[in-house]
Amino acid sequence: MKTLSDAFEHTLQDIYYAENALTKALPKVHKAANGKELKAAIADHLEETKNQVKTLDKVFKSLGKKPSGVKCDAIEGLIKETEGIIEEASGVAKNVALIAACQAVEHYEIARYGTLREWAKVLGHSEAHDLLTSILDQEKAANSKLTNLAVSSINKK
């Protein structure tokens, strides 16, 4: 990478890989979670993630690029950490640890989408900027939903 445009495209490919990896990982998290509210939150986010992949397809199209991903070591690590929780945690610890793991993913995505949005703006990619803003808003809302669920219910158990 030598230019902002190069960094933008690489990071876009990174998050595209990450979102696709999450569509495969979230069903395992859903299965492992206990409780109606947490399962519902995870199921909702899985559907949202699938839609975000479609939105990223539109971002690539707006740039005249074919959607493609490059391996995202960060998401691979976060998924591996979550798989460890699924294998090792039990009882109430499992749900609180799963929420924490999901929030780690949300925070990563918020950082990536915030950066991509601002780079799109600087590069004059207004359609990409708007699409990335919509995903960023969804990620922030998902994080808030997890926080509220943890604080109001899961952590108290």
- CATH entry, 4-156, from 1.10.3210.10, 3.40.50.720, 2.40.50.140, 1.20.1260.10: 1.20.1260.10
The domain locations on the chain are 4-156
**C-alpha torsion sign, points 43, 134, 110, 113:** positive
Q: How far apart are CA 48 and CA 144, in angstroms?
A: 15
pTM comes to: 0.94
Closest CA to 118 of 26, 34, 4: 4
pLDDT tens across the length of the chain (157 residues): 899 999 999 999 999 999 999 999 999 999 999 989 899 999 999 999 999 999 999 999 999 999 999 999 999 999 999 999 999 999 889 999 999 999 999 999 999 999 999 999 999 999 999 999 999 999 999 999 999 998 888 877 6
Encoded tokens for 41: 């939150």
Contact residues for 109 (Cβ-Cβ < 8 A; gap 6+): 15, 18, 139
Closest CA to 99 of 24, 47, 52, 45: 45
